[in-house]
Structure 1
Amino acid sequence: MTMTILALDLGTTTGWALRDNDGHITSGTEHFKPQRFEGGGMRFLRFKRWLSEIKQSCDGIDCLHFEEVRRHASTDAAHAYGGFLATLTAWCEHHGIPYQGVPVGTIKKHVTGKGNAGKGEVIAAIRARGHAPADDNEADALALLAWAIDTQEV
């Protein structure tokens, strides 16, 4: 039996890729944009509930990898990322799921050969591996999953 791995590109539009214990890979994006009349923490509660739904749908997660971002386009993006990261790590700790952040350059270098590859190059590399990502968020999650499968002996 294969380990179940969840790979996440955290953000308001979170890209995700999951390899289940049968080796089947699914992926997509989930949107956590703040809604008009909800408080600031509600997006993170919706994210936490979504994580639990994913975990339940595949009978548990053996390990989780997330894209570790060091630079953000704006202060708002940095704050959102911090909130998603705090929610994610607390959720993983609560459920006893090992987690690891992987630097963006490491992921890009693995799938494209270049640590500074652009969004289009990552998408093309993921398509060449037989996937059809809807956007760069899903492509990033699939790239991270490929890195985890190829380098982490899982």
Structure 2
Amino acid sequence: MTQTNEHPRTILALDLGTTTGWAIRGYDGLITSGTASFKPGRYDGGGMRYLRFTNWLTELDRLSGPISTIWYEEVRRHAGTDAAHVYGGLMASLTSWGELRGVPYEGVPVGTIKKYLTGQGNAPKQAMIDAARKRGFNPADDNEADAIAILLWAIETNGGVA
């Protein structure tokens, strides 16, 4: 996914979860990051978290896009069943959103992201936060730090090709 014109494309990086970490490099080259909560409300139906996530992606695309590529943390093991279900639902929402709009998406293994940012494939959460801070970012938590790491990895390795 190389860039041929002088302006970079908009790239979105996500750490999927109830608290989703995100980092985006806009077409102007500016990197912004944060977290978004998709915790269901007391009276929400089971699908509301995913509907909110899809609407959030659409709004991000409208305000900062168009998004040209999405990279997300590819998790193979989860701490619990609920976390696995949430991740799977968010990933299904993300991939269908991308398919509908022709936006390519790809997962990046957790170890790849951790090793890239810290030099250690099994780095703890605090090490990821510290490493992001050393790169000039100020992540609120490990979710945002992971999204920043994914974005930097995607930009600096050309999606693992460099």
Alignment deviations for residues 110-134 of structure 1 (CA, whole Å, 9 cap, x no partner) = 0100100011111111000000000
Q: CA deviation at 1:34?
A: 1.1
In structure 2, what residue type is equivalent to 1:67?
E
Q: CA deviation at 1:59?
A: 3.1
State the partner residue of 2:117: 111
Matches within 5 A, 1:40-119: 40-119=46-125
User: Structure 2 stretches of 5 or more lacking a match?
Assistant: 1-6
State the partner residue of 1:16: 22
State the partner residue of 2:153: 147
Matched, 1:137 2:143: yes
Mapped to 1, the partners of 2:64 and 2:79 lie a distance apart of 34
TM-score relative to the length of structure 2? 0.93
Q: CA deviation at 1:152?
A: 1.2
How high is the sequence identity, in percent, across the aligned residues?
Answer: 63
Mapped to 2, the partners of 1:106 and 1:7 lie a distance apart of 14
Q: CA deviation at 1:74?
A: 0.5
State the partner residue of 2:33: 27
TM-score relative to the length of structure 1? 0.98
Q: CA deviation at 1:68?
A: 0.2
State the partner residue of 2:4: none
In structure 1, what residue type is equivalent to 2:14?
L
Secondary structure of the 1:14 match is strand
Alignment deviations for residues 90-146 of structure 1 (CA, whole Å, 9 cap, x no partner) = 000001101000000000000100100011111111000000000110000001001
Mapped to 2, the partners of 1:152 and 1:34 lie a distance apart of 36
Mapped to 1, the partners of 2:102 and 2:43 lie a distance apart of 34
Runs ≥4 residues deviating over 3 A: none
RMSD of aligned alpha carbons: 1.1
User: Structure 1 stretches of 5 or more lacking a match?
Assistant: none
Q: CA deviation at 1:3?
A: 1.4
- Mean alpha-carbon deviation: is it higher for 6-15 or for 58-67? 58-67
